[in-house]
Amino acid sequence: MTEWVYWLDLAGVVVFALSGVILACRTRMDPFGMLVLAAVTGIGGGTLRDLVLGVRPVFWVSDPSYLWVILATVGLALVGFHYIHRLSRGFLPVADAFGLALFTVIGTHKALLLGSPAMVAVLMGLLTGVAGGMVRDVLARRIPMVLREEVYATASIAGGITYVTLDALGAPFMAIIGGSLAVTLGLRLAAIHWRLALPVFAWVTLPPKEPPPDEPGKSARIAKERVRMIRREHDSGRDHD
C-alpha cells in the first residue's frame, strides 16, 4: 500500500517537473531556469503541504530521491531538447492534468494518514496539486491556471472529496486511488477538450430602457449597475500553452 503511494508520488514529480521544463523551453529559459521551474513544480506543492501539516523534515529532505528524479528529468529533457521543444502546445495542460490528479491523491492520502479531518484532507490535496503549478506560472510570468476561469482547482477538490468519501465508506485502497484519479483527471481533461469554464461574476452596466411607443409620457429608465454571472467568450485563436 505504502509502496504504491510512493511510486505515485514519484510519478507525479516526474510529470510536474516535465511540465516545468516544457514551460521553461517555451519562455526561452537557460538550463538553470529549467531546473528551477522543474523543481518548484515537482516539489513545491508537497513542501507547502508538509509545512502546513507540521511534518518535519519535509518529504524531499528525508528522501533525496525526489531531487534525483527532478535532476534526471531535466537532464533527459536537455538531451532530447529538440523533441521537447516540438511538442504541441496542448501537451503542457495535459501533462499538468496528470500531475494534478496524482498530487491530489497524494496530498489527500497523507493528510488523512496524519489524522486530519476530511475537509482539511481535501484542502491538502488541493494545495499539493495546485501550489507548485502556481509558483511555476508566476516565475514564467503567466496567469496561474488555478486563477483562470478554467475548471482546474474544482477538479482537484472533486477528486479530494471522492477520496475521503470512498475512504469513509471503507472501499478498497486501490478503488479509492483509482476513483480519485479518475474524477480529477476526467474533469480536467474534459475541461481542456471542451473548453469548459466556470462562470465569472462581474459588475455590468445595464443600458437605460426607452419607454414603450404606446406610453410616450413615460420617462426612460436610467442606467444601472448590477452583479451578473457571465461566461467569457473563448477565442478560437487562443494560445493554449
pLDDT per residue over 111-167, tens digit each? 999 999 999 999 999 999 999 999 999 999 998 888 876 789 999 999 999 999 999
Residue pLDDT, tens place only, 177-236: 999 999 999 999 999 999 888 877 766 666 666 666 666 555 555 555 565 666 655 544
Averaged pLDDT score across all residues of the chain: 86
Higher pLDDT, 5 or 108: 108
Q: Please tell me the distance from the alpha carbon of residue 37 to that of residue 21, in angstroms, as a whole number.
A: 7
Mean pLDDT of 72-95: 84
pLDDT at 124: 98
Q: What is the DSSP string of 87-112?
A: S-TTHHHHHHHHHHHHHHHHHHHHHH
- Average pLDDT on 87-110 reads 90
- Upstream peptide bond of 57 is cis (omega within 30 degrees of 0): yes
pLDDT band at residue 240 using 50, 70 and 90 as cut-offs: very low
DSSP assignments along 37-64, one per residue: HHHHHHHHHHHHHHHHHT-SS-HHHH-T
Q: Which of 172, 134, 125 lies closest to 9 in space, CA to CA? A: 125
Q: What is the pLDDT of residue 227?
A: 58
Of the candidate ranges 48-62, 94-108, 127-141, 190-204, the one whose mean pLDDT is the lowest:
190-204
